[in-house]
Structure 1
Amino acid sequence: MAADSFNVTVILQLHNQLDLLGRNLRSLNDSISDMKSTSTETLPKHMQHSDGSRDIHSRLRMSVLHHQAIIRNVQLLEECLGGMLLGQSLSIGTSFCLQLFQAATRAKRVQELGKTCSYLVTAFSMLFIYCWFGDDLISESEKLAFSAYDAVTSLQACPAAIRRSLLLLMARAQRPLHLTAGGFFSLSRESFVAVLNASYSFFAILRNFKEEYDD
C-alpha cells in the first residue's frame, strides 16, 4: 500500500506539472497582447516587439524544456511500473474470475462470502486508483495540445523561430502522454472497465463448462 501510494503521488505530480505547463502556455496570449499594445504606444517602430519577442522566446524555450522533462519522467515511470502493473492487472483479473467461480459453484457461509467480497473490493480498488489517475494524466496531456494551439494563433506576428518552437511543442502534445501496463493497454477508466468485463467473461465461460460437465 505504501508503494502504491507513492506511485500514485508521482502520477499526480506529473499531472500537476502538465497543468502548470498549460497555464504557462495560455499566459503567452496575455503577454503578446500586452506587448503589442505597449510597443505601439511607447516605442518607435524599429524597436517594436524586440524586447517582448526575446521575453516570449525565453519563456517558450523554458516551456519546451519543461515539456521534454515531463515526457522523460513519464517514460521513466512507465519503465519502472509497466511490468508490475501488468502483473497486478492479470493477477487481479484472474483472482476475480476464480473467486466468482468458487462462490457460484460451492455453498459457502455468509462469513466466507463476505471475506471474498472484501478481498475483491480491496484488490480492484488498487487497480482502480492507478487507472483513475492515469486517465487524469491522459486528459491533462490532451488539454496541453489545445493550450499550445491557442498560443500559436496568438503568436502569428512573432518571429519564425518562436512559431516553429511552439508548433513543435503542439505537434508532440497531440500524442497524449499515458502510462501502460507493460505496453498492452493504457491505464484509464475504460481499461479498468475492460479488465472487469474480461474477468467476468472468463467466469461465465468457466461456469458454462461446469454446467455442461455436470449435465
Structure 2
Amino acid sequence: MRSFDWKKTIKINIITLQAVGFWPKGDDSFKFNLYGLWTAISFTCIIFCHNFFQAVSIYFILNDLKAVTAVIFLNLSELLGILKSYYLIKNMPKLKQLMITLNKPLFQPKNERQIKLIEPNLKFWKQMYNLYWVMSSGALFFWATFPIFDNSIKDHRLPFIAWFPFDTTVSPFYEIAYVHQVVGIIFVAISTVGVDTLIAALSMYIGAQIDLLCDNLRHLTGPNFNNELLNCIHHHKTILRFANNSNEFFNWIAFFQFFISATSIGITLFQMTVVTPFTSEYFSLISFELAIVVEIFMYCWFGNEIEEKSKNIPYAAFESNWLEASKESKKNMIIFMIRCQKPLQISALNLFYLTVETFMKIIRTSWSYFTLLHRMSSRK
C-alpha cells in the first residue's frame, strides 16, 4: 500500500506561511540566509510596524470611547498575530519534527478502510480552513477599500486609524502609509490564519490517529495478538507524546487567543452599533466578527474531538478478540485499559480545556463585554 502523506492536507497552509517568511522549506528551521532576512523584514517592518503605528494612536484618543474601540478591537487581534508569528518562529524545530513524526510508519493507515475512516477528519478541516479564509478575505477587502467606496479617500483617510512619523495628508506619504497598512493587514491575516489552521490541523491529526488506534485495537486477533497489542500500546504512547509536543507549541497562543477573542468579539459588536449600517466599514466588521467566531470554534471543536475520541480507546480494546488471547496478552490489555481511562485533553496552560463548552463560555463573555460598552456609551 502506498504511503499516506499527512502533510498534503495542509499543503496550501504551508505555502502561504512560506510566502510571508514563516515556514522554511524542507525539514530545516530558520537560518542566517536570504529567507531568514525575509522573515526578519516581514516580522518587523511589515507586521510589527503595522501594529505599532495603530497602538501609538490610542494615546491621542484616550478620551473618546468610540474612537478607542474603533482602534483597539483590531489592534488586539493584530497584537495576537505578532505573538503567533513569534511562537511559530520560536517553535519551528519542534513543528518540523512533528511533521516528520506524522509520516512515520507507525502513524500510517494500514488499509483502504482506515483511509476512509480518517477522510471525514481531513475533509472537515479543509471546510473550516476555507470558511475561515472566506471570512478573513471579506474583512481584508472591505478594510482595504472602504476609504475608496465611502469617498473618504479625498480627505486622505487611511483604512485604519494610526500615527505615523510623517504627515499622511500629503503625497506621496499618504500613498505610502495606505499601501503599508494594506500590505501589513494582509501579512497579519496570512500569518494569523496560517497559525490558527495549523493548530487546528495538529489537533485534527491527533484525533485521526486516535481513530486509527481504535480501529487497530478492534481488529486484534490471531496468534500475533500480543505483538499487535504491544504495537498499539507504542502507538498510543507516541500519540500522547505528539499531543504533548503540539500542546506545548500553542499553550500560550490558546491562552491569549481566548481572552483576546472574547474582548474583540464584544468590542466589534459594539462598533457595529456606532458605524453607519451597510457601508464598507460595517461589512468589514461583520466579516471580522464571523472570522473570530470561526477561529475560536476551530480551537474548541478539534480539541473537543480529541477528548471525545480518546474516551473510545478502552471500549475499542474491549471489542477486540481478547477472549482467545494468552494470559500475558490479557494482562497487558488490562494494564493498557486502566491507563486509558483518563481521556486525553488539550488545554491552555492547564487553566481551561479546548472544548465546545469553553467556546460557549467565550461567546457569553463576549456578549457581557458588548452589553457593558453599550451601557457606558448610552450614558454619555
TM range (shorter): 0.7 to 0.9
CA contact 2:275–2:282 (8 Å) conserved in 1: no
Q: 1:98 aligns with which of 247, 256, 267?
A: 267
- 2:204 alignment counterpart: 12
Q: How far apart in 2 are the matches of 1:202 and 1:138?
A: 30
Q: Does 1:174 align with 2:366?
A: no
The correspondence of residues 8-157 of structure 1 with structure 2, limited to 5 A, is 8-28=200-220, 31=221, 35=222, 52=223, 55-104=224-273, 106-111=274-279, 112-151=281-320, 154-156=321-323
1:100 Cα deviation from its structure 2 partner: 2.0
What SS does the corresponding residue of 2:311 show, helix, strand or coil?
helix
- 1:31-56, Cα deviation, whole Å (9 max, x unpaired): 2xxx5xxxxxxxxxxxxxxxx2xx21
Q: How far apart in 2 are the matches of 1:65 and 1:189?
A: 30
Q: How far apart in 2 are the matches of 1:133 and 1:107?
A: 35
Higher helix fraction: Structure 1 or Structure 2? Answer: 1
CA contact 1:74–1:178 (8 Å) conserved in 2: no
Between Structure 1 and Structure 2, whose CA radius of gyration is higher? 1
Q: How many matched pairs?
A: 187
Q: How high is the sequence identity, in percent, across the aligned residues?
A: 24
1:157 Cα deviation from its structure 2 partner: 5.2
CA contact 2:317–2:333 (8 Å) conserved in 1: yes
Q: How far apart in 1 are the matches of 2:328 and 2:364?
A: 50
Q: 2:366 aligns with which of 196, 199, 207?
A: 199
**Structure 2: runs of 5+ lacking an equivalent:** 1-192
Q: How far apart in 1 are the matches of 2:369 and 2:226?
A: 56
Q: Which AA in structure 2 matches 1:131?
A: C
What SS does the corresponding residue of 2:348 show, helix, strand or coil?
coil
1:19 Cα deviation from its structure 2 partner: 0.8
Q: How far apart in 2 are the matches of 1:139 and 1:156?
A: 27
Runs of 4+ in structure 1 deviating by more than 6 angstroms, as ranges, are: none
- 1:93-118, Cα deviation, whole Å (9 max, x unpaired): 111112223334x3534322221111
**Structure 1: runs of 5+ lacking an equivalent:** 36-51
The 1:64/1:95 distance shift into structure 2, 3 A limit, reads: same
Q: Which AA in structure 2 matches 1:175?
A: K
